[in-house]
Amino acid sequence: MSDLNNVFGTSDEATALLKHLQQRSGETVDVTDVFTELGLDKLSGNYTDTQVEGYGDAFMVVAALAALIVGEGEVTLHVDAKEKTQISTALKYFALSPEEHAVAERFDEDDLYEVADLAEELRGQLD
């Protein structure tokens, strides 16, 4: 499980997010718009136990978005400082307290802490 893409890039949330973003083929997608469209802006950075309708776990949506931001893929994203800070904070909080997140139920204890390390690694790449 030691690959960011295997955790954050292939989740159901990542698949749904990528499908949503691909509808804008060829254009740079503003992450502020994505936050608004998905309702992430209304969560005030609290992604621990919230579901995003049609996409799944809010933290995993944010983590998938982070993976897309740092990766070079088929979608070009523009991220402002506000959203970048919210994403970084969410990844850091998960890295420090993964068991506080609803998504923790998907992983056994060993894998959960490995995923937490991957979240911290992703946060480092985002900065």
DSSP symbols for 41-96: GGGTT--SS-EETTTEEHHHHHHHHHHHHHS-SS--EE--HHHHHHHHHHHHHHHH
pLDDT score of 27: 82
Percent of the chain exceeding pLDDT 90 equals 76
Return the domain boundaries, the chain. Answer: 4-126
Model confidence pLDDT, tens digit, residues 31-56: 999 999 999 999 988 999 999 999 99
pTM reported for the whole predicted model: 0.92
